[in-house]
Amino acid sequence: MTLQTNRTVYRMALVLTALALLFFVSLLFGAGPVGWQDSLWLLTGHGEGLGEQVHFTLFELRLPRTLLAIIVGAGLGASGVVLQTVTRNTLAEPGLLGVSAGASFAIVMAIYWGASASALNLQAAMAGALAGCLLVLAASQVSGTRQDPVRLILAGAALSGLLLAISSVLLLLDQRTADEMRFWLIGALAGRPFEAVRFSGLVTLAGICVLLFRLPALSALSLGHAVAVGLGHRPWQVQLTALLVVALLVGAATAAAGPIAFIGLVAPFAARAWVGPDIRNSFWPSLLLGSCILLAADIISRLVVIPYELPVGVVTAFIGAPVLLAVVRRQRMPTL
């Protein structure tokens, strides 16, 4: 094994260890009355006399949200690194480019027309995410945008702002929609049943499997259309497949947990710093780091204002904003 391979294996082992540790911590701590001592006692097989509340809190509340954080984080991390490869832009991220906003808007519309927020509404979320993906691809082809990544982010911000404004009007007009969407719109992992976790996990797993088969083509595409064609790939076919899968992943994540921003930016940023820009090397680290970051943010959201909880989307915004500033400072800014 080469030195580079040894480093990659060591770093992957480190990330997996961190994820396992966060998983354990997530089961132990929460904002409710069940403390970590009781949770630890139950996990070690000594929970006979602890009562139903401890069992319910651990296995019906904390375990589903922990698994959902891992699934959603992995989907957003994978979506981020794929979007950045397709657009050849390190600022590309589902939350910043309007992809998550498209999925959220579609769910708001579905609930406004009579659907229930308790359902996943995956079809609506996928349709909205796909529309956002196609707009991102169209914007990336506009003259000047490809050379200036900040313009692409501004286009995404404009799209997100427009969809948010329309959603706000719908929430004002319909009290039922406002009641069902109030907490979900800023991202939340709590209160989701195992059925939602299982369904989101299957959809995310399917999307990741498709991307694994397309990693060589995506790596060639990151070098430019001419290089991709020279290597025997069809750039538009690769882009369309990638965006369809991104719509699937973002749609599943948004339907399950709401629009959670910055995971798709922070995870690929850290992965590239570790293993380099090639998506064949950075895909798995981005996926695992996305799970770690979202799970850590969820733990923080439970503990920072006990006995209440912060929406996890607020915590990820605090984590992602400094990273966004760091990435922007590395880009070539437009001159006046």
Structure tokens given for 150? 């900040």
The reported pTM is 0.86
User: Which candidate, 299, 286, 264, places its Cα nearest to that of 22?
Assistant: 299
Provide φ and ψ at 118, rounded to 5°: -70, -20
pLDDT at 334: 40
Given the candidates 3.40.50.970, 3.30.565.10, 1.10.3470.10, 1.10.10.10, the CATH classification of the domain at 3-32+66-330 is 1.10.3470.10
Residues 40-96 pLDDT 10s:
777 777 666 677 787 888 888 889 999 999 999 999 999 999 988 888 878 778 877
pLDDT at 3: 58
Residues 7-41 pLDDT 10s:
777 888 899 999 999 999 999 888 777 777 777 77
How many Å apart are CA 246 and CA 231, to the nearest integer? 24
pLDDT at 330: 66
**Residue 59 amino acid letter:** F
Classified as helix, coil or strand, 224 is coil
pLDDT at 331: 58
Residues of the chain with pLDDT under 70: 1-6, 46-49, 115-122, 137, 139-152, 180, 182-187, 327-328, 330-336
Domain boundaries along the sequence of the chain:
3-32+66-330
